[in-house]
Amino acid sequence: MLEAQSYQCPYCGEEVEAVLDLSAGDQEYVEDCPVCCRPIVFDLRTDGRDWTLHVRTEND
């Protein structure tokens, strides 16, 4: 199950959108910001229905 979610880049502050795969369970992965190209760590916690997303810099 895919879910679109807006988030704010922890580096440049721009509002951007990510597509989350909720069917894959808990995940932590890195994607570059599409605006400033810096690496953002995504921490997704889900039970398949409810989910939380936290984004942070690599050094946090």
Q: What is the pLDDT of residues 16-55, one digit of tens each?
A: 999 998 888 999 999 999 999 999 999 999 886 789 999 9
In this prediction, residue 58 has a pLDDT band, given cuts at 50, 70 and 90, of confident
Q: How many CB atoms lie within 10 A of CB 44?
A: 21
Give the pLDDT of residue 1.
82
DSSP H or E segment with residue 31:
strand 27-32
Q: What is the pLDDT of residues 4-17, one digit of tens each?
A: 999 999 999 999 99
Residue 24's SS3 state is helix
Asked if 23 contacts 38 with a C-beta cutoff of 8 angstroms, the reply is no
Q: Which region holds residue 51: left if phi is over 0, alpha if psi is between -120 and 50, else beta?
A: beta
Q: Where are the domains of the chain?
A: 2-57
Q: What is the pTM of this model?
A: 0.86
